[in-house]
Amino acid sequence: MSLNNKTIVLHELIGLDCEVTNSSDQFQQGIRGIVVDETRNSLVLETSKGLKRVVKNISTFKFRKGKQVFLVKGEEINFRSYERLEKGLKFYKRRRL
């Protein structure tokens, strides 16, 4: 599956560059790093200051792969990685290319 603005919600996130662009937790805003782990409710980012756990459903993320940039609301990816294909389809259908 090729990675684009629509398929990002179904794609594997581990290994992507990630930045928290908005969050209701002010301490999570602006955290930037590489996604190294993922749980149902959080992403673990490897930052210059160590590992940081970011809550998905209260945040908006900017993912980068090469020159491609994707903006994703946390609620669109608030699933376990192996459940994302099944449960994330409703968000996939709403996203535009």
Q: Where are the domains of the chain?
A: 7-85
Distance in angstroms (rounded) separating the CA atoms of residues 88 and 22: 21
What CATH architecture does domain 7-85 belong to? Roll (2.30)
Q: What is the pLDDT of residues 32-77, one digit of tens each?
A: 999 999 999 999 999 999 999 999 999 999 999 999 999 999 999 9
Strand partners, 26: none
Q: Which helix (H) or strand (E) holds 54?
A: strand 50-55
Strand partners, 23: 59
Nearest partner of 81 among 2, 10, 29, 5, judged by Cα: 10
Strand partners, 34: 17, 46
Model pTM?
Answer: 0.89
* Model confidence at 21: pLDDT above 90: yes
Per-residue pLDDT, 84 = 79
Nearest partner of 23 among 45, 8, 3, 46, judged by Cα: 45
Per-residue pLDDT, 79 = 87
Distance in angstroms (rounded) separating the CA atoms of residues 56 and 43: 7
Judge contact between 61 and 23, C-beta under 8 A: no
